[in-house]
Amino acid sequence: MKSTAIASKLALLGGKPVRSTPFPPYPTIGDEEKKAVMEVMDSGHLSSFSASRQGFLGGEKVQAFEQAFAAYHGMTFGVAFNSATSGLHAAVAACGAGPGDEVIVPPYTFTATATAVLHHNAIPVFADVDPVTFCMDPRAFEAAITPRTKAVIPVHLLGHPAEMDQIMAIARKHKLKVIEDCAQAPGAKYKGRLLGTMGDCAVFSFQESKNMMTGEGGMLITNDPDLAESARMVRNHGETVVAGEVRKYLAQTIGWNYRMTEIEAAIGLVQLKKLDGLNDHRRLLANYLLKRLPVIPGLRYPVEPAEMHHVYHVFGMTYDAKQVGIPRQQFIQALVAEGIPAGSGYPRPLYHNPLFQERMAYGKQGCPFTCHLYQGTVSYAKGICPVAEDLCADRALWTFVVRPPATTADMDDIIHAFEKVVEAIPELKEQNHETTV
């Protein structure tokens, strides 16, 4: 049933907004997280990485969190990091990609997916995404493979699984390592399998906005013992400590300090127990919206193909201005005026950033793009990934507020705002016409 608000004037045109109070803040920190943090504080040890093999493996909470997170996924090893960015860097390093190598990534994702490749002096090569799921298009992935390709990083974007069967088959055919970027999709499933369990390794983010969070933090999971040990070394100054021996300060390779703290791990243990419930909450809200949002040509809501389990990190829609009748930005402005946070998502495909256009990462000589070991001719020209370019330019429409602790009453406001804006399209169209003639 339509709300009485629909008949009223659009807030963008001076009417009363559907909603004048903000959506509930995210994330929610419960007593359990607070208690876990206080336990760590009382223990007196906030990190506990130290000189023994145990210490090399991390503090008590870090190791417990790694084991619990790996077990949740049915995987053997978890390696905790201070972010997904550092975890991705370690994954690239542990997969053996470096100077002269290429790693294929999507351009419609957060910066870190591609810069993790540059961090290890390898070259990111962009493969376009699917216009409906926003995830890497397997055909574009295969077309981007060269003799220099070492690995691929499919991203499960906005909570939606990438097309893993096809990606894995192509990767195996070409002997490429697969690093799943699960930053936005912990607990999501592809054909019944949890994301992060299909590639050679996977990396998750626990940054504050994510479906489960520790403030900042990340985790790499894998079944490969060598990959896990390499990742631990990257995390810990390139050192390893052999069981039964004391630390020798022996840097076997280049490494960093990418270690997670005990406080973060303690929060992670609590959040992991909540993850399925938090995702169920997101799914309930998303499905509530999907049943009720107005259906009009040109506005497509998130899809969940059969056998997929979407965890709606973002409620990502696509927009066709020609079919809807008004520009995307105007539709967004109208929603925002009604009190519904909405936006156009990533503003540009990653290769449009100066970092790639000017090819300046390390120093002023263009390293690693100009490295003599790199024999390739990667292109970052406009038009290489048309789907991602269109999504950024005028097709994507996102809202973040479909998440706990919001309720279905909050979702009703979103529905009413969409209905109100959709109903006012002829009026807005008319106005646009008047201002352009």
Give yes or no for a contact between 105 and 116, defined as CB atoms under 8 angstroms apart.
no
> What six digits make up the tokens of 139?
């055909």
User: Is 113 a binder of ligand PLP (CB under 6 A)?
Assistant: yes
User: Residue 338 in contact with residue 420, Cβ under 8 Å?
Assistant: yes
State the minimum distance, in angstroms, from the CB of residue 359 to ligand PLP: 22
Taking CB under 6 A as the rule, does residue 109 contact ligand PLP? yes
Instruction: Report d(CA 73, CA 65) in Å as an integer.
Output: 12
CB 134 to ligand PLP: min, Å: 11
The answer to whether 112 contacts ligand PLP (rule: CB under 6 A) is: yes
Q: Considering beta carbons, is residue 72 or 110 the nearer one to ligand PLP?
A: 110
Q: Which residues of 245-273 are buried (b: 16+ CB within 10 A; e: fewer)?
A: eeeeeeeeeebbebbbbbbbbbbbbbbbe
Using CB under 6 A as the binding rule, whether residue 183 contacts ligand PLP is answered as yes
Strands 177-181 and 201-205: parallel
Is 184 a binding residue for ligand PLP by CB under 6 A? The answer is yes
Among 207, 223, 431, 432, binds ligand PLP (CB under 6 A): 207
CA distance 204 to 220: 7
Over the window 21 to 60, marking each residue x when it contacts ligand PLP by CB under 6 A and - when it does not, the resulting string is ----------------------------------------
CB of 124 to ligand PLP, least distance (A): 13
- Minimum CB distance to ligand PLP, residue 109 (Å): 5
Comparing CB distances to ligand PLP, the nearer of 155 and 392 is 155
Closest CA to 263 of 7, 37, 98: 37
Q: Are 345 and 397 in contact (CB under 8 A)?
A: yes
Stretch of 179-187, 219-227, 303-311, 330-338 contacting ligand PLP, by CB under 6 A: 179-187
Q: Please say whether the beta carbons of 310 and 302 come within 8 A.
A: yes
Q: Angle CA(86)–CA(195)–CA(265) in degrees, nearest 5? A: 45
The site that binds ligand PLP (CB under 6 A) totals a number of residues, namely 14
Among 83, 197, 230, 271, binds ligand PLP (CB under 6 A): 83
Pick from 136, 141, 204: nearest CA to 173: 141
Closest CA relative to residue 407, chosen from 29, 32, 33, 21: 21
Shortest approach of ligand PLP to residue 51 CB, angstroms? 28
Looking at residues 278 to 317 of the shown chain, list those that interact with ligand PLP (rule: CB under 6 A). Answer: none
Are the C-beta atoms of 336 and 418 separated by less than 8 Å?
Answer: no
- Contact residues for ligand PLP (CB under 6 A)? 83-85, 109-110, 112-113, 155, 181, 183-184, 205, 207, 218
